[in-house]
């Protein structure tokens, strides 16, 4: 069984992709809303929470876990190995997709404060393409807007204004691609692409696509 987890609604975007791409697989989803937002947690708190989330999913029968939370991915190498071995991170496939699309080699990343602090996107981009540059911007305010019910399907002019004010410090100079580096932001992918006039790459979608390929390859091999 496939497990997917997040602090909240963001992981649902990854889960929906899994249902679309692997419709015959059973899934179990965990949203740790009690401890959200993860983006405001310290590294040691994240290690504790992510260890517990993955352990819970494993105890529920998940033998493969898609980490539907970019913030959680930042500590996967620090949780017990028997748990991290079950997990697939969504960071690298997302960065690979963005780097395959950019013409300028300079990509922007919208993420949580904890993800920005970890510098995981910068490190991953450099390891794939040494000439690449990833510019990260923390927009934890967007997580709250999404948890409050804002989405592409449900946004009015007032919502667009609130969105613009959360993003007012964002400088996309020289960037032609924006990674939605927090899965919550995929709920606003169309709106963000429109408001910012930039191509977007969703970590929830790119991560789920990568994960599905692994699962399909495995089931063909077995
Ligand atoms: N959806 C999570 C992520 O991808 C984080 C949201 C939160 O701050 O809890 O990073």
Same domain as 108, residue 67: no
Same domain as 59, residue 20: yes
- Which ligand 1 atom sits nearest the alpha carbon of residue 36? 9
Ligand 1 touching residue 151 (CB < 6 A): no
d(CA 114, CA 206): 21
Total structural domains in the chain?
Answer: 2
Same domain as 82, residue 131: no
Each residue's pLDDT tens digit, 39-90 = 999 999 999 999 999 999 999 999 999 999 999 999 999 999 999 999 999 9
Ligand 1 touching residue 184 (CB < 6 A): yes
pTM of the model: 0.96
User: What domain range includes position 185?
Assistant: 91-202
Provide φ and ψ at 5, rounded to 5°: -140, 160
Each residue's pLDDT tens digit, 165-204 = 889 889 898 999 999 999 999 999 999 999 999 999 999 9
Same domain as 191, residue 120: yes
Encode 63-80: b = buried (16+ Cβ within 10 Å), e = exposed: ebbbbbbbbbbbbbeebe
Same domain as 180, residue 104: yes
Ligand 1 touching residue 181 (CB < 6 A): no
Express as a percent the part of the chain with pLDDT over 70: 100
d(CA 199, CA 99): 12
Contacts (Cβ under 8 Å, ≥6 apart) of 165: none
Identify the CATH number of the domain in which residue 12 sits: 3.40.50.1860
- Which ligand 1 atom sits nearest the alpha carbon of residue 181? 4
Same domain as 137, residue 119: yes
């Amino acid at each position: 069984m496939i497990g997917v987890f997040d602090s909240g609604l963001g992981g649902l975007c990854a889960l929906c992709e899994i249902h679309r791409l692997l419709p015959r697989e059973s899934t179990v989803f965990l949203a740790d809303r009690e401890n959200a937002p993860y983006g405001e947690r310290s590294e040691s708190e994240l290690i504790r929470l992510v260890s517990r989330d993955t352990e819970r999913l494993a105890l529920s029968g998940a033998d493969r876990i898609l980490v539907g939370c970019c913030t959680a991915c930042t500590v996967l190498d620090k949780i017990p190995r028997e748990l991290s071995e079950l997990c697939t991170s969504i960071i690298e496939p997302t960065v690979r997709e963005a780097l395959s699309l950019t013409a300028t080699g300079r990509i922007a990343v919208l993420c949580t404060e904890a993800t920005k602090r970890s510098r995981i996107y910068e490190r991953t981009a450099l390891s794939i393409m040494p000439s690449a540059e990833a510019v990260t911007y923390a927009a934890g305010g967007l997580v709250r807007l999404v948890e409050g019910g804002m989405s592409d399907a449900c946004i009015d002019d007032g919502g667009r204004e609130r969105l613009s004010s959360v993003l007012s410090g964002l400088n996309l100079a020289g960037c032609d691609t924006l990674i939605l580096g927090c899965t919550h932001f995929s709920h606003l992918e169309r709106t963000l692409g429109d408001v910012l006039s930039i191509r977007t790459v969703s970590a929830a979608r790119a991560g789920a696509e990568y994960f599905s390929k692994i699962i399909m390859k495995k089931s063909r091999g077995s």
